Structure 1
Amino acid sequence: MNPMPELAPMLKQLRLSGLLEALPARNRQAIEEHLAYTDFLALLIQDEIARREQKRLSQRLRRANFRSHKTLEQFDFAFNPGINRALIQELATGQFLTEPASVLIAGPSGTGKSHLAQALGQIAACQGQDVRFMTQTQLLGALNEARATGTFQRRFQALARVALLIIDDFGLKPLRSPQDEDVHDLISERYEQRATIVTSNLDFSEWGDAFPNRLLGAATLDRLRHNAYRVVLDGASYRSPKPLPEPPHSPLANSAKTAEQ
């Protein structure tokens, strides 16, 4: 007798319909290996826990809104050997999330800042942390849109409370009022409460130049830099253009050169 038709509605009622996928294979395994009922039940429960965790991870990655799937394993440390690999491996443990502390990543365009930030974000998501990845432009655009629709406080608090906020390309465009106030308020709200990763093409000494109000900028950066981990990515760009191919050999041009001689 096949118990599946009878089990299906009961498992759905208990919100355990995911067990239906693993049940046939586990049932065969139990018969072939003569498993005890408790061992068979334990395997099914393990399958359900793994399925739910994978579903939650997929949801966290979708909410994070990463540009692409970037991992630390894909990061080419040999390309720019000056990178502090030991520090990055330490950050990969997730300790900065529990402190909590900021991670500031600076370097020229194309040196892997966004890749590294997203890779650390991927690790945080796998560790069960909620993550948001946004460029400075996206962040300010979202807050401006929320202000226009009367949902600013709700949007602001969502960004303030997320376990890890990644702000990419900070300072790429100068801030204007009230953008500088929004950035200040957000960093202040997260200060010593939540971890933040910020990437920028600017040297650390130039970050204050992004703020039209220097006093406000100094107050913001003072909080951001306090106990922060600093990563400098310097060297060649991963986006260096490929060399142009040699022009094709032209018999006509050679003939003309011979005629001139």
Structure 2
Amino acid sequence: MLTHPTLDLLHALGLHGMAQGYKALEANPEARSLDHAEWLGLLLDHESTLRQQKRFETRARAAHLRHPASVEDVDYRAHRGLDRALFLKLAACDWIRTRRNLVITGPCGVGKSWLACALGHKACREDLSVLYFRVPRLFAALGLARGDGRYGKLLRQLARVNLLVLDDWGPEPLLPEQSRDLLEIVEDRYDAGSLLITSQVPVDRWYDIIGIPTLADAVLDRVVHNAYRIELSGESLRKRKAADKAA
């Protein structure tokens, strides 16, 4: 068979997955017993798999997730109050498709950011767009954008992703300008996309962090009323790992 011209044509057409599959089938003696329809089906499977992987890699790079976490690596043995059934349900990402929110609270070191990044990573695998920000850096970026004319562009970037991860919310009270920025973000995403917020501060104290009553009412009404909640507890996992290494 004219292997090389066929491979060259597949690559020229951008069908790199089919080219890889073609080479694999050519090298497999058992593939010679397959009929044309079976060959074509296997080649299309190779192409589909490669394209899905490339889309995932592109979305994962764009997400800027803080941790290379995976839902398959979650430790349910740690005593921190993580509901395994709920987390596995969230890992299916249907809550993102239905534009609901998720709030993860708990003390420092119990794995809030890691779990958020694991869910963000899974969303990328599900072909959903994700963007991660630590809240202090987000407010700093919005302040700079306001000064150089990029404010509207940054808000549009935050609004159009399927999942926006806001990590490390609180505990310092917001400045009035930051409270207004937060309302703009929440308003743009209401019924349009999902929010995942992590915080050391319990939800019942968020009102005081926002500070301005009218803005606090508007923000919390849009974020909390349709949000799943994961409330973690226990000692820091970092301290436990350090103690294990010392032992």
TM-score by length of 1: 0.85
Q: Does 1:144 align with 2:143?
A: yes
Alpha carbons 1:96, 1:102 under 8 Å: kept:
yes
Q: Which residue number in structure 2 is paired with residue 217 of structure 1?
A: 216
Q: Which residue number in structure 2 is paired with residue 253 of structure 1?
A: none
Counterpart amino acid of residue 91 in structure 2: A
Once residues 195 and 178 of structure 1 are traced to their aligned partners in structure 2, the CA distance between those partners, rounded to angstroms, is: 23
Alpha carbons 2:163, 2:193 under 8 Å: kept:
yes
RMSD between superposed Cα atoms in Å: 2.2
CA apart distance, 1:23: 2.3
Q: Which residue number in structure 1 is paired with residue 96 of structure 2?
A: 97
Corresponding residue pairs, total: 245
> Mapping of 1:188-227 within 5 angstroms?
188-227=187-226
CA apart distance, 1:233: 0.3
Once residues 135 and 246 of structure 2 are traced to their aligned partners in structure 1, the CA distance between those partners, rounded to angstroms, is: 37
Once residues 145 and 16 of structure 1 are traced to their aligned partners in structure 2, the CA distance between those partners, rounded to angstroms, is: 43
Counterpart amino acid of residue 183 in structure 2: H
Q: Where in structure 2 are there 5+ consecutive unaligned residues?
A: none
Q: Does 1:240 align with 2:239?
A: yes
SS in 2 for 1:61: helix
Q: Does 1:159 align with 2:170?
A: no
CA apart distance, 1:210: 2.0
TM-score by length of 2: 0.90
SS in 1 for 2:142: helix
Q: Which residue number in structure 1 is paired with residue 3 of structure 2?
A: 3
Alpha carbons 2:139, 2:178 under 8 Å: kept:
yes
Q: Does 1:50 align with 2:49?
A: yes
For residues 95-147 of structure 1, give each alpha carbon's deviation from its aligned partner in whole angstroms, at most 9, with x where no partner exists.
21122211111100011111111111112111111111111023223322332
Alpha carbons 2:10, 2:16 under 8 Å: kept:
yes
> Mapping of 1:105-120 within 5 angstroms?
105-120=104-119
Q: Which residue number in structure 1 is paired with residue 87 of structure 2?
A: 88
Once residues 80 and 173 of structure 2 are traced to their aligned partners in structure 1, the CA distance between those partners, rounded to angstroms, is: 31
SS in 2 for 1:73: helix
Alpha carbons 2:20, 2:46 under 8 Å: kept:
no
Structure index of larger Rg = 1
Q: Which residue number in structure 1 is paired with residue 23 of structure 2?
A: 24
Counterpart amino acid of residue 109 in structure 2: G
What is the identity percentage for the equivalent residue pairs of Structure 1 and Structure 2?
A: 33
Alpha carbons 1:143, 1:155 under 8 Å: kept:
yes
Q: Where in structure 1 are there 5+ consecutive unaligned residues?
A: 247-261
Alpha carbons 1:101, 1:227 under 8 Å: kept:
yes
Counterpart amino acid of residue 151 in structure 1: R
In structure 2, do the counterparts of structure 1 residues 178 and 149 end up closer, same or farther at CA, with 3 Å as the change threshold?
same
Alpha carbons 2:91, 2:119 under 8 Å: kept:
yes
CA apart distance, 1:188: 1.2
Counterpart amino acid of residue 38 in structure 2: D
Q: Which residue number in structure 1 is paired with residue 124 of structure 2?
A: 125
Q: Which residue number in structure 2 is paired with residue 230 of structure 1?
A: 229
For residues 195-237 of structure 1, give each alpha carbon's deviation from its aligned partner in whole angstroms, at most 9, with x where no partner exists.
1100000111111222242321222112111121111001111
